[in-house]
A and B are shown apart, each in its own frame.
Chain A
């Protein structure tokens, strides 16, 4: 096994671990209430497809795999933004903020939503998908 091959395998392994971990996490959270919550499941499907294609390197154009990885990165960024907006929307529901939410500055609200101070959605969690996609991207980056 040459070093590049080993690196490639490590990267694909990290991507696969990210996919499995994210799937377990999403399932435990029952992340399927409505269409928006299905986006990460679709992204996981794309990642599984990309990893499978990367493993079958001789048969698949690596540019196609990287396009899939890029699509997942976009989906992950969308998820992160969506979580931020959901937290922002949940501000008035939190009893610690209910009375003063309307009077808070926009910056203070955004900070509360982004820092985990208010709302149920983890802002950075969707980026696990981007990380797995990055692994997939770099695993195929020397393929042409």
Chain B
């Protein structure tokens, strides 16, 4: 009987929780989309590093050299979303994952410009 009384409460809790789960992705992904188109035009000093094989230190160094803010933090993200398919030289998978963080178009362009697969 106690359980019966709890049902309406649980039903309301279901509704609240399910509604809370939606729409969590940052909305400003247009900046990242724009970055995708400008990535190839970014001019960065230094050699490219392998997105799949470079160590976090190497990634951080390359990103720092390219002038990316929070370079070590981005290096962690690049490492986290490995592996990147070699059939995807534009690193679309990485761009998609970076977009979740709502980075500036400039930062995305710089990040992509120092990476190769």
Contacts and interface: CB of A to CB of B under 8 A. Distances in A.
A11 B103 contact: no
Interface residues of A, number: 36
B3 A11 contact: yes
Interface string A106-137: 00000000001011111011011001001100
The secondary structure that dominates the B interface is helix
Contact of B102 (A34, A89, A96): A96
Nearest to A120: B100
Contacts of A121: 24
Interface residues of B, number: 32
Contact of A138 (B6, B73, B100, B107): B6
B69 A98 contact: yes
Nearest to B32: A95
A94 B2 CA distance: 47
Given A3-B4, A7-B4, A96-B102, A124 B80 contact: no
Interface of A: 3-4, 7-8, 10-11, 14, 18, 25, 33-34, 89-90, 92-96, 98, 116, 118-122, 124-125, 127-128, 131, 134-135, 138-139, 141-142
